[in-house]
Amino acid sequence: MTRKKVLVMLGAIVLAVGIALAGIWYNAQLPPLAYPGAPAQDAEILFTTWADRYPAEGQTALTLRTTLQWLAVTVFCTLAAVVLALYYYKHQRELGYFLLYLAVLIAWGAAIILSPISLDPVAAALKRCFFPLTVLAPILLSSALTGVAPVSRTQKLLVLVLTMGYFPIALHSDARVRAAALFGGMIYCMGLLLLAYAKGSASVLLLLFPYAVTAGLRIWVILPGLDLPFFSESIQFYLVRCARIYDIPFTLGCMTFVCRRFALQFDRTEHLARELDERVVQRTRALTEESEARKSMMLNIFHDLRSPLFAVSSGLDTLEAAPDALPALLPAMQQRMSFLRRLTEDLFLAAKLEQKQVMLNEDRVSLSEAAAAVCESCQNEAAKKGVTLTTRFDAELPIWGDAMRLQQIVQNLVTNAIHYTPAGGTITVHSFAAEGRALVLVQDTGCGIAPEDQAAVFDRYFHTTADTKHDSTGLGLTIAQELAHLHHGEITLESEVGKGSCFTLALPLLED
C-alpha cells in the first residue's frame, strides 16, 4: 500500500471523527433542548413545549424543520426516480440496493413528518427499525458498488446470519446496546470502503468521503439517546436530526459513483463503435481494392488468352488454305499453346491458394539440392535468351517442406529473372545459411522494379508498370510468396531501376 493511500484513508477517518467532535463542541455552545435535572421526556414533546413557550422562535423553528424535512425527502425522491429509470433500462444488482436504501430513507422521512410524536409503543418500535435499516442498506450498497460482496454460498449464509442477528441488538431496549450496534454497523461500512480503496479502486473515494461526512453527522443523532454528561442535545441539532439531511452526502456520493460507472460504459461503447466503424471502413476499402484488382486481373487474363488464341486460330485458318505452311507455323503455335497451358495452371494454383486448398507433402528436404535442380532445368531457357545463369550453393540447407512446392518457388523466381533480364545479362542463384534460416538469393541484372511498384509486387493480380515484353503469366511472384508463407517463410525484394533486382527466399532451417 502506498503512502498516498494511507494518508487518504486516514483523512477519511479524521473527517468523520472531526465532524463528530466539531458537532459535539458546537452543540455545547447552544441552549439545550432539556436542561440537566429535567425529567426524561420524548424530544418532540420537549420541542413542542419550547415552541409553545416562545411562539415567534417556535414558529420559525417549525418552519425551518418542515422545510428541511421536505427538502431531504425531495432529494431522496429525485434520486430514486433517476435510479429507477436507470434500473428500468439496465437491471443491475447495485441499482436495486440503491433503490432499497432510498426507499428506506423516504419512508423514514415521511414517517417523521406525518407522525413526529410516537406515544404508541408499537409505532415507536417501528420507527426505531428505520435507523438499523439505514445502516445495513449502505453496507449492502457499498458491497455491490465496490465489488467486495460475498461470492460463495458460505459467505452469503454468514452475511445473512449476521444481518438477522444485528436487528435484535440494534432494537435492544437498552439505549447503549443500540448505540453500540449502530456504531458497529457504521464502522463496518467505513472499513468496507477503506478496504476497497486499499485494493486499488480510486473511484471508491466518491463513496468513502461522502460516507465519512454522513457517519460524522449520524453520531450527532446517536448521542442524544445515551444520556451522556458532555452532550445535551440543542434545539438546532434536534432540527437537523428530524430533517434526516445527514444521509444526503452519502446518497449524492452513490449517485455520482453510479453516474461515473454508466459514463465509463458509454465511453467504452462509443470507443467500440468507433473501432467497429473504422474496421468496417477499412474492410470496405480492402474489398473495393480487391474487387478492382480482380477486374484488372480479369482484363489481363482475357488479353493474355485472346492473343495466343488469335494466333492459333489464324494459324489454323492459314493451314486450311495452305497445308504446306505447317512447318513454318508449327513452332509459333506450340509456343502459344505452351503459354496457355502455363497460364491455366497458374490460375488454377492461385485459386487453390486463395481458398486454402493446397496441401503440402512435407518431409526433410535439402533446399540447395532443390535450387540446383531448378537451375539445371532453366539453363536451356536462359541460354536461348542469351542470359548467363550462375549458381553457388554453400551448404545442404536442410528444411522441412514439400520438395515439389519448394522447387516451384525457386522456379518462379528464376523464370521471373530470366523474363526481365535482357540478353547479355547475368542471373546469380546463391544459397546459404544465416541466423538460423535457409536463404536462397536470386539476383539479376535486369531492368529493375520501380519504387512505386515494389510494395505491391507480391500482390495478387498485380502487373508491373515496366514496358518489357515477355511470356510471363503475371502470377508467378504471387504464387511463390503464398507457397513460401505455407512453409513459414517469406520472400523479400531489393531492387533498383536500371541495375536489377534481388529476391531472397528465407525459410526456417531444420536443426540436426
| Secondary structure of residue 391 in the 3-state scheme | strand
Chunked into runs of 10 residues, the chain (512 residues) has average pLDDT values of: 86 93 89 61 76 85 87 92 88 86 86 69 66 81 80 71 72 78 87 88 89 91 80 84 86 91 87 92 88 74 71 80 80 77 76 78 90 91 91 88 90 89 92 91 89 79 55 75 90 90 92 70
Q: How far apart are CA 77 and CA 354, in angstroms?
A: 64
Please give the pLDDT value at position 442: 94
Chosen CATH of 3-272 out of 1.10.3470, 1.20.1070, 1.10.10, 1.10.287: 1.20.1070
pLDDT of residue 467: 52
Give which of 442, 334, 333 is closest to 378, Cα–Cα: 442
Helices 43-53 and 55-89: crossing angle, nearest 10°? 140
Domain boundaries, the chain: 3-272, 293-354, 363-508
Sign of the torsion formed by the C-alpha atoms of 90, 92, 94 and 96: positive
Maximum C-alpha span of the chain? 144
Spatial separation of the C-alpha atoms in residues 230 and 36, rounded to whole Å: 11
Fold annotation for 363-508: Heat Shock Protein 90 (3.30.565)
pLDDT score at 38: 47
Would you report the helix, strand and coil content of the chain in percent, each value rounded to 5?
Answer: 70, 10, 20
* 436 DSSP assignment: T
> What's the chain's length in residues?
512
Q: What's the pLDDT score for residue 118?
A: 57
